[in-house]
Amino acid sequence: MTAKYIFFTGGVVSSVGKGVTAAAVGRLLKQRGFKVAVQKLDPYINVDPGTMSPYQHGEVFVLDDGAETDLDLGHYERFIDIRLNKVCNITTGQVYAEVISAERRGDFLGGTIQVIPHITNEIKRRIGLVAKTTGAEIILVEVGGTVGDIESLPFIEALRQLRSDLGRENTVFVHVTWLPFINATEELKTKPTQHSVRELRSYGISPDVIVARSDYPVDESLREKIAQFCDVEKRAVIPMVTEPILYEIPLLLEKAHVADYLMERLKLTEPHAPNWTAWETLVKETRAKKPKVSIALVGKYVELHDAYISVRESLKHAALALGVELDLKWVHSADLEKGRCMDVLEGVNGIVVPGGFGSRGIEGKILAAHFARTHQTPYLGLCLGMQMMVIEFGRFVLGTDNVNSSEFDRSTANPVIDLMPDQQGITAKGGTMRLGLYPCQLQPGSIARDAYGTDVVEERHRHRFEFNNNYRQLFNEHGMVFSGLSPDGRLVEIAEIKDHPFMLGTQFHPEFLSRPTRPHPIFVAFMRAACIKAGVKYNDPPEVLEP
Ligand code: GLN
């Protein structure tokens, strides 16, 4: 059977939640027993977002196979509870790199290489790879940016061609737009939506479904107007009012009968009726009043919450499973360096130091680790956060400030965190870190082993530096437990501190594998310790639900 395709384009403005919409539609279909996969087409010229500043791009989401991808892949994986692969995020950079290297090899000898057909063919080939590599029956494809952007034109053209190649019963176009609200007249406006649909039409694509995002309720007459002006059926105009509880969106789309419409259009019969009990419980519990547990997230990109989106979501998943409400305090590590915000650390029930690169704000993160260790405050260090915990401990054990990671001070006397041997000599930046899934052997009797309830786990990585084994024995003698190691015992994957309620750091990124209905065990263990510190009652997490 050929796969069915649902294409998502965006109109009017960006950042209206196209990624979340695609993810939620994916959930609707999975809930009916379809095997789905989602692909993001990013029009920028970088090969992947791995080399971009989080200020430009938000978080870099890492997949099992080590692909460094757009943060929308995190939405897809969390909402649908699937695991995607590297073909699920393609960029203009990748497409051109492939075509240009083929040209250099001589594959097109004699020919002129053009956007149509060479670039569009390569885009179509890569879209085709999703079904081949995942075996999904329905592929959702999201085009980044907004219709009309110069950069996304080849992608849009490739989708237009796919519609003629595969036929209308195998392809649906969903256009996600924004209805601005005019304060003076107190009304929502559809004109920008009409214009963006006209723009899409000028490229040869008529949308089948319009998802109209808005901050205010959209009434029936407005739906009718959009249907009429944009030439879609009224039932295919889906108002999507801003929803503070992200995981409510699939339920709203279900109520709007989006899946029924899509199945009708794609001539699909659902394998079974959707069962929303677990999601309804999830949303109900999110809404319920619960005791608050406050967590400080100490980072250097805290102005942009998207830079830590998976960490925030993982904390929320764990809090929800424990029946408490996450009260997240964003703390800028540079503020701690200037002596500010220490009162925030004093007031919280737990501290998280997430991943990061480069020396800015490092000392503030070390201060946060020091505060946590000396105040018995639960601490979770993620990648760089684990390295900060090691440096802090080293300074205390060795009795000198001359302890650092060689990432920040090449000539430090005690490089307790050092470049991994297989990273020596690597100078190119793109895709060269230790990336993706690696196994980790848990040590009996440790907090980590207890949390996971199993001996070996596989987690996603993205780093160049590691714990320096020359210090392992000394640190261990002073109370640092190396509770997770690579199976050959060489690489420290998890470190924890004895005689502390919970001070644990992972060299990997557990935040990439947490799901709303299957919170990550390390986050649950950390949040439980924070509940105890807060003195609030918590539930034992419910049994792990099926993905
Ligand atoms: N900069 C550190 C390293 O490369 C930590 C990386 C991270 O936090 N993802 O090892």
pLDDT digits (tens, 9 = 90+) for 333-355: 999 999 898 899 999 999 999 99
Which atom of ligand 1 lies nearest, measured to the CA of 385? Answer: 8
Closest residue (by CA) to atom 8 of ligand 1?
Answer: 355
Q: Give SS3 for 430.
A: coil
Residue 488: count other Cβ atoms within 10 Å of its Cβ: 8
Does the pLDDT at position 468 exceed 70? yes
pLDDT of the residue at 542: 57
Answer for the pair 256, 238: CB distance below 8 angstroms, yes or no. yes
C-alpha of residue 366 to centroid of ligand 1, in Å: 15
pLDDT of the residue at 419: 94
Does the pLDDT at position 546 exceed 50? no
Q: Is 509 a catalytic residue?
A: yes
pLDDT digits (tens, 9 = 90+) for 157-172: 999 999 999 999 999 9
What's the topology of domain 289-407+429-534? Answer: Rossmann fold (3.40.50)
Identity of the amino acid at 100: I
pLDDT of the residue at 545: 47
Show me where the domains of the chain are located.
4-281, 289-407+429-534
| Local structure of residue 84 (DSSP, 8 states) | -
Does the pLDDT at position 184 exceed 90? yes
Distances, alpha carbon 334 to alpha carbons 251, 294, 339, 342, 532, in Å? 41, 21, 9, 12, 29
pLDDT of the residue at 84: 97
> Of the given ranges (148-157, 387-396, 535-544), which has the lowest mean pLDDT?
535-544
Predicted confidence band of residue 16 (pLDDT cuts 50, 70, 90): confident
Rg (CA), the chain: 25
Q: Is 313 a catalytic residue?
A: no
Just give the CATH number of 4-281. 3.40.50.300
Share of the chain above pLDDT 90, in %: 87
Helix (H) or strand (E) holding 35: none
Joined tokens for residue 191: 């004109």
Q: What is the mean pLDDT of the chain?
A: 94
pLDDT of the residue at 436: 97
Mean pLDDT of 464-491: 96
Q: Is 127 left (phi over 0), alpha (psi -120 to 50) or beta?
A: alpha
pLDDT digits (tens, 9 = 90+) for 58-98: 899 999 999 999 999 999 999 999 999 999 999 999 999 99
Fold match flag (4-281 vs 289-407+429-534): yes
Q: Where are the beta strands (DSSP E) in 135-233?
A: 138-143, 171-178, 181-182, 187-188, 209-214
> Of the given ranges (159-168, 200-209, 262-271, 337-346), which has the lowest mean pLDDT?
337-346
Answer for the pair 293, 327: CB distance below 8 angstroms, yes or no. yes
For residues 157 and 301, give the distance between their C-alpha atoms in angstroms, rounded to a whole number. 36
> Of the given ranges (272-276, 278-282, 323-327, 538-542), which has the lowest mean pLDDT?
538-542
Best residue for ligand 1 mutational test, from 308, 383, 509 (most atoms within 8 Å of Cβ): 383
pLDDT of the residue at 547: 45
Given the residues 383, 440, 466, 493, select the one marked as catalytic.
383
pLDDT digits (tens, 9 = 90+) for 420-431: 988 888 888 888
Best residue for ligand 1 mutational test, from 61, 310, 366, 387 (most atoms within 8 Å of Cβ): 387
Q: Give SS3 for 486.
A: coil
Q: Is 493 a catalytic residue?
A: no
pLDDT of the residue at 1: 65
For residues 43 and 55, give the distance between their C-alpha atoms in angstroms, rounded to a whole number. 18
Closest residue (by CA) to atom 6 of ligand 1?
Answer: 463
